[in-house]
Structure 1
């Protein structure tokens, strides 16, 4: 299992960041995996109703998805620590293909059962994928550049949503203004990308083989076991750091239901929803780069950068949700817009939807930065990321079912605004109390394990 005293050579400034086992290449690869799988899933969901006229099947499938996701998101960090990236990611990516295929089936037979079952299976797979992704994105980068690497990942990942938005836009361009479901080719296109992502996931290296430019590895752990991971996951539920993250985690996917089903779907025709999604996910790329810069370069002090970043997102969010309130009040129910419509009739709702994409990426990147600032080790951060995704998915499951029970758009808007607003002061408290200028001292202490653990091959 390796010698616990193995030394990694000091590589210095000339160390090549573009070698295969560098954090840069591995972050790019996990970005491409998510480009193909969750990126295409986001484009599918972003059309509202999974591309169907009636949202019922999609809402029920998404409720099943996020219910199982909530469980396996929390368990995913432990599973990743036991299985490693190859099995965890490949198993997770494979379930995305099944989900897209279920809507291809639904296009012909209008049976919900397959879509709901596929959604539940995808929830298991997504829990595995996102726990692995969270561990890789927050632990592989150097400590002082986590925001930059998070924005790199988020830009590549959301390019999937941009391309995915183009697929329904192009394939359904000439289908007129009447309400319609997307054609078979749209779902087949999504499935092709998702299959490529599953294959690409096999290229990701385990944390123990990734070497940063200063010669340090991302973890000292070779493998874990079920008992250890079960105990460590249970500890997260009374870890005060994780409890402060709960409101941010719960709200971070809760707002998708409102954005997709109450802004994009009811106001625009099919081709325009695809067109809007190109810019929604494009805005995510811009937002992640902007907040990544603030979190890494705005001030010398890491704690101060965290505080400033949270405040920037909070102020921007207030303005955007205020704009959403104005749009909700004044919009004409039953009026369907096309991207060729001139004047403010289309421009206002379009800018709002674009701004939602900007805010989403800034909010998510900000939370991931905070999580990444709590530790450097992949073993620890896989559990933190899994906890975050689990709570996030529980919130999403509730949100999709709320929409299925015909709760008004205005009520959903207010709940979303309140939930996100509550999360900012709690994240500020977490940054002030828990984020240090570096984690090296704590992690060196954590590496002083008992001799029996080394002999059993559980650490390196």
Structure 2
């Protein structure tokens, strides 16, 4: 009777973890997609007294996020993943609250806080997912978590659509209504972290070696940081860093840039602001479909490899970039007066591209979670800290250049990095597969 109980506790933890992230990121991802448009409207409504900028805020978040990843592993080691995730989620909640009354100092201070919160939250999440998984369930659990997480895009942007539908400029009352709802969702997410349970194992062969994990958590903060630097010098992490960097660049594009491009497209008329929510919903549909499918295919992934899924995601993204190139104007990230495009802008094509962006993103991220958890079960904390460090550095750089580069240049960068990142992942996966067939469980 012990084995089913152990399995239930670990699966329960994965589901609750996914629900907590779903609620928290219902607030944060919806806010980040609408942030530039919300703050641009606030500038107009305040007659110039408010000067905050959405791209600058998001850039600060990811710069701080990247730096804070180096202090995240020792924090997880000292506090444990559950308490660390709870603390990080509170900082997200504070950031969302700051939009109820936009003030420049609160916006940028909140951006710093959420950058720190993101580093400790995601590092702890990677550790918690790994200690609740084994080599047979890590792909399934990654897929379950990712599908639940990305439901945030569906629910949050559905709410955003109905609040902002028909708006050309976002009024104070619409902004307040939007962020009261998002703050409530964030608070529920914070509380969910408190009901996570400690995984207990009586099966020493099939489960992650929790005794070893507990021993590593008792290591000093300095030892934890040293292990992170050691991993960074490995060939596998260096190659995967190229793939991870691509996920950071495309995260910036679909979470902060693409919605702004749609909202700046005058041919969409009064639907332009509301389409931010619709676009986010279909990004979520793609993420959920990909996460669920790849989670259910976990055992087949172990057998046939992760590279076919990453290749599928690459093709989905290339199709999306081409259609966006044809459908939207080159100046749409910043200039709503630019109406030139190769096709007459079509809202259905724009929304379909949102789906492709989400589906491709889930392909890359679920397989990165899977391969890192599989390769480094005993070093999951520093491995996922490095994952988020590289991803956030790339995202911060992308938000910086998004303020100045036209759409076509951004799409060119995405295309080149996507090809390099896909090839790098495949090289690592082929090496992992060879080692596994030869009887080695990690590299």
Pair in the same fold by TM > 0.5: yes
- TM category, shorter: 0.7 to 0.9
Greater CA drift, 61-70 or 75-84? 75-84
Q: How does 1:234-313 map to 2 (within 5 A)?
A: 234-268=229-263, 269-297=272-300, 301=303, 304-313=304-313
1:416 shift after superposition: 1.3
Task: Give the match for residue 319 of structure 1.
Answer: 319
Alpha-carbon distance change, 438 to 68 in structure 1, aligned in 2, over 3 angstroms: farther
Greater CA drift, 215-224 or 132-141? 215-224
Q: Equivalents in 2 of 1:281, 1:347: separation in Å?
A: 16
Alpha-carbon distance change, 261 to 155 in structure 1, aligned in 2, over 3 angstroms: closer
Q: Is the 8 A contact 1:11 1:215 kept in 2?
A: no
Alpha-carbon distance change, 258 to 389 in structure 1, aligned in 2, over 3 angstroms: same
Q: Does 1:122 align with 2:114?
A: yes
Give the counterpart of 1:134 among 118, 126, 136. Answer: 126
Q: Does 1:196 align with 2:191?
A: no
Going by fraction, where is helix more abundant, 1 or 2? 2
Structure 1 vs Structure 2 CA RMSD: 3.0
Task: Give the match for residue 46 of structure 2.
Answer: none
1:129 shift after superposition: 0.6
- Segments of 5+ residues of structure 2 without an aligned counterpart are 44-51, 264-271
TM-score (norm 2): 0.84
Q: How does 1:206-245 map to 2 (within 5 A)?
A: 206=198, 209=200, 216-220=207-211, 221-222=213-214, 223-245=218-240
Q: Equivalents in 1 of 2:86, 2:198: separation in Å?
A: 13
Q: How does 1:340-419 map to 2 (within 5 A)?
A: 345-377=346-378, 380-404=379-403, 406-419=404-417
- Segments of 5+ residues of structure 1 without an aligned counterpart are 1-9, 338-342, 447-460
Q: Is the 8 A contact 1:138 1:371 kept in 2?
A: no
Q: Equivalents in 2 of 1:50, 1:122: separation in Å?
A: 20
Task: Give the match for residue 180 of structure 1.
Answer: 170
Task: Give the match for residue 429 of structure 1.
Answer: 427
Q: Does 1:58 align with 2:77?
A: no
Q: Equivalents in 2 of 1:186, 1:80: separation in Å?
A: 33
Write the deviation string for residues 27-72 of structure 1: whole angstroms up to 9, x where unpaired: 1111111112133211111235163336962211111111111122
Task: Give the match for residue 89 of structure 1.
Answer: 85
Alpha-carbon distance change, 186 to 210 in structure 1, aligned in 2, over 3 angstroms: farther
Alpha-carbon distance change, 312 to 166 in structure 1, aligned in 2, over 3 angstroms: closer
1:17 shift after superposition: 6.2
Q: Equivalents in 2 of 1:344, 1:321: separation in Å?
A: 14
Write the deviation string for residues 193-249 of structure 1: whole angstroms up to 9, x where unpaired: 111222221222345x36679763552233222132122122123122211111111
Task: Give the match for residue 48 of structure 2.
Answer: none
Task: Give the match for residue 47 of structure 1.
Answer: 34
1:96 shift after superposition: 0.7
Task: Give the match for residue 47 of structure 2.
Answer: none
Task: Give the match for residue 143 of structure 2.
Answer: 151
Q: Equivalents in 2 of 1:305, 1:237: separation in Å?
A: 24
Q: Is the 8 A contact 2:330 2:407 kept in 1?
A: no
1:440 shift after superposition: 8.8
What is the DSSP-based 3-state SS (H/G/I as helix, E as strand, rest coil) of the residue aligned with 1:183?
helix
Q: Equivalents in 2 of 1:135, 1:277: separation in Å?
A: 28
Write the deviation string for residues 363-383 of structure 1: whole angstroms up to 9, x where unpaired: 211211221221333xx1121
Alpha-carbon distance change, 204 to 355 in structure 1, aligned in 2, over 3 angstroms: same
Alpha-carbon distance change, 358 to 442 in structure 1, aligned in 2, over 3 angstroms: closer
Q: Equivalents in 2 of 1:158, 1:134: separation in Å?
A: 16
Q: Equivalents in 2 of 1:411, 1:233: separation in Å?
A: 34
Q: Is the 8 A contact 1:61 1:117 kept in 2?
A: no
User: How many pairs align?
Assistant: 413
What is the DSSP-based 3-state SS (H/G/I as helix, E as strand, rest coil) of the residue aligned with 2:105?
helix
